Amino acid sequence: MAMMEMLEKYRHDTDIEKTIFYKNMMAYLTKYPAISKKYKTDQDLFRLDIIVHALKNKEKIDDIFKQYYIENNDILNRLNYQEKKHLLIQEIKQHTDCLYCFDFEGEKIYLPIFDMKINHFYMFDRPLLELKQYQKYIDNFSTSMIDPISYYGYELYQSCFSSLQYIIEDERFICYYLKDFGCVYVFNKETMTIASRLFLIDKYSSLDSLTYEQVCIVVDYYLHYQFKECIDYLYASQSISQKVYRKILKKYQ
């Protein structure tokens, strides 16, 4: 493990707040000051990433229904609840291809910032959201949001709601890669907290990133405690320099 800690010591110094990932996220969240809070940990940032993807979905869904109501207001006002519900379901089904979603307990979830019931209302029982008790989910929703990971689980990290890239897992850990940070995050599967970070590029390397296949090989070595093989592979891939490679070998051989 000490070998891997040496990689962190000599890692490429990435200023998270200067990455495109961070800048785009925070620029978008200026519209939602109640949600845009300064992060304290990387996991806070990953949670915000999921929330941003969900908010983009929400905006699209709200716009679809708003436009439909504008264009068909006279017709909708003459319909009963079931008829209105049917028409709105048919309308939203025409647009689901442009929305993020993931499967959870047999249901497609489009808004992981809300629980399953509200997700269903939002997409397939829209007239219910016109009731006073549910209006808060459309307008003043920030106080009604859930914690996506606590409710839906770490599978969200493997969905299109997350920018993390799934790499590999075993019975103990599951690993994700964030290219912008040049880092693999190793999560404890039981607690879903970050157990360790694996930095792939040192500050002397001319590389910007590794390929997905290369990252998978590195992480496989790591999970099997083959740290020397891991270091050798990174050196052969030119993601760590000869200078750092020699420092590591000198200290641990």
What would the mean pLDDT of 228-252 be, rounded to a whole number?
90
Distance, CA of 227 to CA of 235 (rounded, Å): 12
180 pLDDT band, cuts 50/70/90, is confident
Q: How far is CA 239 from CA 21, 209, 210, in A?
A: 21, 8, 8
Evaluate if residue 66 carries a pLDDT over 90. yes
52: helix, strand or coil: helix
pLDDT of residue 33: 84
Whether the Cβ atoms of residue 128 and residue 163 lie closer than 8 Å to each other: no
pLDDT value of position 111: 97
Question: What is the pLDDT averaged over residues 178-206?
Answer: 90
Per-residue DSSP letter, 177: E
What's the pLDDT score for residue 15? 76
> Is-contact 6 248, C-beta < 8 A?
yes
pLDDT at 253: 66
pLDDT at 182 over 80: yes
Whether pLDDT at 12 is above 80: no
The rounded radius of gyration (Å) of the Cα atoms in the chain is 23
- The mean per-residue pLDDT over the stretch 174-195 comes to 92
Q: Is the pLDDT of residue 46 over 80?
A: yes
According to DSSP H, which parts of the chain are helical? 2-9, 20-29, 42-77, 81-93, 116-124, 148-152, 212-223, 227-236, 242-252
Compute, in degrees rounded to 10, the torsion defined by CA atoms 52, 152, 146, 137: 70
- Sign of the CA dihedral with 206 first, then 208, 212, and 218 last: positive
Mean pLDDT, residues 154-167: 94
**CA 170/CA 189 separation, integer angstroms:** 9
For 68-97, b/e burial (b = at least 16 CB within 10 A) is beeeeeeeeeeeeeeebbebbeebbeeeee
d(CA 228, CA 28): 42
CA distance 25 to 69: 31
Please state, as a whole number, how many other Cβ atoms lie within 10 Å of the Cβ of residue 194: 15
* Alpha-carbon gap, residue 214 to 234, rounded angstroms: 9
What is the chain's mean pLDDT, rounded?
90
Mean pLDDT of 148-169: 94
Q: What is the predicted pLDDT for the residue at 135?
A: 83
Residue 38 binned pLDDT confidence (cut-offs 50, 70, 90): low
